[in-house]
Amino acid sequence: MLQPYVVTVSSEKGGVGKTTLATNLAIYLKALNEEMPVTLFSFDNHFSVDRMFRIGRREPHGDVLTLLSGQSIEDVIETGEYGVQFIPSSRRLTTIRHQIESPEILARILANSKLKGIVIIDTRPDLDIFTRNALYAADRVIVPVKDAPSLENCRNLYDFFDEHGLSRRPLRILPCLIDSRIRYDGPFRDSYRLLKGYAINRGYRCLEGFIAKSPKVESLNTNPEGKIYPVITHGRGTDVHIQFTHLARQVYLDAKQDAQRRLDRVSEEEKNLLAERDAAYGARRDTLQPSCLLCGRRLVQEDSIATAGYYCETSDGGVAGYLEEECFSTTVFRHFYRSKREVGASDPLRDLFRESAQRSYFVLRRAPNTRNFYQQQLSFYRFDEDGLEVSHKTIELMEPENPSSTGEEACLYRLAAHTLLNQDGLLGDDFLLIRRVCSDFPEEILYSEQHDRLRSVAVRIAAQLP
């Protein structure tokens, strides 16, 4: 089954008739083909969509905000007047503006939904992240322009398509609010022809026709009932009725002829991305050291990773593995925090360390100013969640054959040997980054998003190390 055909109505200029166009287009499309599902929503907070389509006074189950925050589209959609489905608007949409970074989110939501037919999106007069999401998902972008300045503003829409490597094909200018009483001498006899001439001159493609300015249409959202009436029922005698009919037919035919939908492409790209991420995860998992790099006990089995408390990875990504929870904290207390008394397994200090370690990154590396590699000195750093240094401590790294070396020192030597010593048995420039993991699910850190974060912290840390 085909994905829905997405029509976005957008212009950075306010009051050019976007909302009037989006809401009426939904109804005219439905009038053309009753069987075809038409779904409408708006990123504006004027509630025109809700006022025009809501039947009765039911409480919405969700809205465009909860949709973008993860609620399923089937949960938030309402069946409205004239057979049009709509998603309620939200007054608080802008509160999540900073959580939405990518323009692909809406397209992915729509591509993964069961929506069919035509989806119409009304946008705010602003190229904000919500409008960008609506543009990214669109098979057709209708850009209403009412004068030369609003046409100038279109450039940013075209730039958005260029910046994202998207074809400009979906973009179409539509002259709106055209006052037919205004006439000019010369080749452009009226403002419709003048705007069309300007648009073509700039290489912009136009839809056929225009939408006239009509006092009747303007009056449809001011009435004692507080409703917004559609042109199809309350403005049949106007030119705008004929113009909307013509516009709906163009959109309908374009949708019918368009075999490759934007959301098909989005869905394909998402599948490829997931496959790539799966492969990257698999590759990371396959190269893990099977045993705790401190004590040597096997942690990585075929299908599980047992009792791992910390994940570690060299800065060049060459060696990666896990450490047992206790091995690591024992090593830290004995060698780096040099606790005078024995810190036993059930000592509250351990709990404190475990807890605070969740917000830390640890680093092992050759000591600063030990360019002379024969001084085998190892430094242990602690960084905060943002990768800023909190503390560091330097110790001698004893070889296990050394008579004064203890069992734990042998463990620490094993860790350094596995990860930091080069072929000549010397400490090189790489460092070992250590991060606490959830012991129920240590693999999570190998997932792309978590792992990308780890790598970006590693870069920040590398810039601070002497």
Applying CB under 5 A, which residues contact Mg ion?
Answer: 18-19, 44
Q: How many positions of this chain bind ligand ATP (CB under 6 A)? A: 17
Minimum distance of Mg ion from residue 87's CB (angstroms) = 16
> In the complex with ligand ATP, which residue's Cβ is closer, 214 or 315?
214
Please report how close the Cβ of residue 25 comes to ligand ATP at its closest, in angstroms.
Answer: 11
Give the strand order in the sheet containing 78-79.
Answer: 78-79, 85-86, 38-42, 118-122, 5-9, 140-145, 171-175
CB of residue 166 to ligand ATP, shortest distance in Å: 23
Q: Which does 15 bind (CB under 5 to 8 A by kind): ligand ATP, Mg ion, none?
A: ligand ATP
Binding to ligand ATP by CB under 6 A, coded x per residue (else -) over 139-178, reads --------------------------------------x-
Where on the phi/psi map is residue 70: left (φ > 0), alpha (ψ -120 to 50), or beta?
left
Kindly state the smallest distance separating residue 4's Cβ from Mg ion, in Å: 22
- Least distance (Å) between residue 221 CB and Mg ion: 11
The piece of 10-18, 317-325, 355-363, 409-417 that touches ligand ATP (CB under 6 A) is 10-18
Which one, 47 or 373, has the nearer CB to Mg ion? 47
Tell me the C-alpha distance between 65 and 57, whole Å. Answer: 20
Query: DSSP string spanning 330-399?
Result: HHIIIIIS--SS---TT-HHHHHHHHHHTTEEEEEEEPTT--STTS-EEEEEEEETTS-EEEEEEEE---
- Whether the CA torsion 137, 134, 117, 79 is positive or negative: it is positive
Task: Select from 175, 199, 235 the least CA-distant residue to 16.
Answer: 175
Q: Which does 211 bind (CB under 5 to 8 A by kind): ligand ATP, Mg ion, none?
A: ligand ATP
Q: Which does 309 bind (CB under 5 to 8 A by kind): ligand ATP, Mg ion, none?
A: none
Q: How far is the CB of 19 from Mg ion (least distance, A)?
A: 3
Among candidate residues 264, 355, 352, the one with its CA nearest the CA of residue 2: 264
- Least distance between ligand ATP and beta carbon 431 (Å): 53
Q: Which is nearer to ligand ATP, 219 or 369 (CB)?
A: 219
Closest CA to 10 of 132, 92, 105, 110: 132
- For residue 39, the SS3 value is strand
Among Mg ion, ligand ATP, none, residue 137 binds (CB under 5-8 Å by kind): none
Q: Is 241 in the site for ligand ATP (CB under 6 A)?
A: no
Q: Which is nearer to ligand ATP, 13 or 334 (CB)?
A: 13
The answer to whether 218 contacts ligand ATP (rule: CB under 6 A) is yes
Q: Does residue 44 belong to the site contacting ligand ATP (CB under 6 A)?
A: yes
The smaller minimum CB distance to Mg ion, of residues 54 and 249, is found at 54
We find the least distance from the C-beta atom of residue 103 to ligand ATP, in angstroms, to be 20
The pairs formed by 364-367 with CB atoms below 8 angstroms and a separation of 24 or more are 364/415, 364/416, 364/419, 364/420, 364/431, 364/432, 364/434, 365/420, 365/427, 365/430, 365/431, 365/432, 365/465, 366/420, 366/427, 366/428, 366/429, 367/394
Task: Please say whether the dihedral angle defined by the alpha carbons of residues 427, 433, 438 and 444, taken in this order, is positive or negative.
Answer: negative
Proportion of the chain in helix, strand, coil states, percent, rounded to 5 = 40, 20, 40
Q: Write the interaction track for ligand ATP spanning residues 89-128; mark x where CB under 6 A is met and - where it is not.
A: ------------------------------------x---
> Which of ligand ATP, Mg ion, none binds 213 (CB below 5-8 Å, type-dependent)?
ligand ATP
Which residue in 212, 206, 216, 219 sits closest to 191, CA to CA?
Answer: 212
Instruction: Give the residue at shortest CB distance from Mg ion.
Output: 19
CB atoms within 10 A of CB 408: 16
Residue 118 interacting partner from Mg ion, ligand ATP, none (CB closer than 5 to 8 Å by kind): none
The site string for ligand ATP over 176-215 (x = CB under 6 A, - otherwise) reads -x---------------------------------x-xx-
Element (H or E) spanning 2, and its range? none
Q: Which does 387 bind (CB under 5 to 8 A by kind): ligand ATP, Mg ion, none?
A: none
The residue among 23 and 315 lying less far from Mg ion, judged by its C-beta, is 23
Among 26, 240, 294, 378, binds ligand ATP (CB under 6 A): 240
Please state the closest distance from residue 66 (CB atom) to ligand ATP, in A.
22
Give the one entry of Mg ion, ligand ATP, none that residue 240 binds, where binding means its C-beta sits below a cut-off of 5 to 8 angstroms depending on kind: ligand ATP
Closest residue by Cα to residue 380 from 343, 345, 415 = 415
**Mutual angle of helices 448-464 and 262-286, in 10-degree steps:** 60
Q: What is the DSSP string of 71-140?
A: --HHHH-EE-GGG-EE----SSGGGGGGG---TTHHHHHHHTS---SEEEEE--SS--HHHHHHHHT-SE
Binding mask 11-30 for ligand ATP (x = CB under 6 A): ---xxxxxxx----------
Cβ proximity to Mg ion, 126 vs 190, nearer residue: 126
Please count the residues of the chain: 466
Instruction: Give the binding site for ligand ATP (CB under 6 A).
Output: 14-20, 44, 125, 177, 211, 213-214, 217-218, 221, 240
